[in-house]
Amino acid sequence: MGNLKRHCFALDLVDDPKLMAEYKKYHEKIWPEITASIKNAGIEVLEIYCVGNRMFMIMEVNDTFSFERKSQMDADNPKVQEWERLMWKYQQALPTAKEGEKWLVMEKIYEL
């Protein structure tokens, strides 16, 4: 498969302790269909970190992954659409997001 490529993203949660706790609870055991869709898209590692209501996601992908392919797979998968609708109750776009954008790709500015 070659080397994995890393992508990093940011997104905020609605700043409400009850909603943030619910969101984290969902991620203790995400739906199996969501796990399958992630793996089928060529994503081999996916981690989400949270501080306050700011989230940071690290995704490591193999050579089969493309944002276009993942987007099409998600659009064609009713269970992914259901999950995304549910998660949007807890998420809020970053101030710099355009209409309809959720997770924003972060720019790498330093590497040791």
pLDDT value of position 61: 98
pLDDT value of position 108: 96
Cα 16 to chain centroid, rounded: 20
State the DSSP code for 109: -
Torsion of CA 74, 75, 76, 80, to 10 degrees: 50
12-21 burial: b if 16+ Cβ within 10 Å, else e: bbeeeeebbe
∠ Cα 33 35 38 (to 5°): 110
pLDDT along the chain (112 residues), means of 10: 88 98 97 98 98 98 97 97 97 94 96 95
pLDDT value of position 100: 86
Residue type, 73: M
pLDDT value of position 2: 64
Model's pTM, two decimal places? 0.91
